[in-house]
Amino acid sequence: MKIKILIIIPAFNEEKSIGRVIARIRETVSEADILVVSDGSTDNTAVISSGLGAHVIQHAFNLGYGGALQSGFRFALIKNYDIVITMDADGQHDPAYIENLLTARARGEANVVIGSRFSDGDYKAGIFKRAGISLFSAIIRLYTGKTITDPTSGFQLLDRSVLVYLSHGDNFPLDYPDANMIMLLHKKKFIIVETPVKMTNRSDGISMHSGIRPLIYMIRMFLAILMVILRRD
């Protein structure tokens, strides 16, 4: 039976890049469907995406990255997709590496595959960003015994069993589903692996980690990690 694949792209005012992203995915993985979750965008993100044949969910208000993903996960379950792959709308993720995610899943029978920009040592991040990622990697390693070099990666593969779990109640963190989600899924016995992917720096738009947002992210992530550790269910 053919595996149904859905690529979910959360997007907030990404009209300058979303067309290129969709076109590159079509060239690389023609058998996959594409869903763009326009998360309260006030530009032409939704119009461009729909015009290029992608499914579109339009949020009336900006719910944040996690909220956009959760809408995509529920869509995938309703439409009976077997696998979802999450990608950014700004063009940082190279669709050519989708095959790496699929191969890693098949090889390790994994439920989650994280695309790491660091595992091949090629990506260069700023000193503060790299320090934060290293810190959360260390926390994950202490808690799970697994080495995840890129816990903040938005380039991921999740199978249907993970989608079912994350769609229930408060299982999915709506703010920043990064290290906390990895720890939660490990706690629930899902198999998580990592594979190399290529990422580039964004050329258009505003990063969700710009300005004071990195500090807010760090505080919220520490609280989210604590909640995962304290969870009894």
Separation between Cα atoms, residue 55 and residue 139, nearest integer Å: 37
The mean pLDDT of 10-37, rounded to a whole number, is 96
Domain boundaries, the chain: 5-230
Identify the pLDDT of residue 41: 97
Dihedral (Cα; 221, 189, 96, 26), 10-degree rounding: -90
The pTM of the full predicted model, rounded to 2 decimals, is: 0.89
The CATH fold assigned to 5-230 is Spore Coat Polysaccharide Biosynthesis Protein SpsA; Chain A (3.90.550)
Identify the pLDDT of residue 125: 64
Least Cα distance to 215 among 182, 176, 184, 177 occurs for: 176
Separation between Cα atoms, residue 37 and residue 134, nearest integer Å: 30
Map residue 93 onto helix, strand or coil.
Answer: strand
pLDDT in tens, 24-83: 999 999 999 999 999 999 999 999 999 999 999 999 999 999 899 999 999 999 999 999
113 strand-pairing partners: 157, 193
Identify the pLDDT of residue 31: 92
Identify the pLDDT of residue 202: 54
Separation between Cα atoms, residue 177 and residue 153, nearest integer Å: 10
pLDDT in tens, 114-170: 999 986 656 666 677 778 888 999 999 999 999 999 999 999 999 999 999 998 767
Separation between Cα atoms, residue 217 and residue 225, nearest integer Å: 12
Identify the pLDDT of residue 127: 73
8 strand-pairing partners: 35, 86
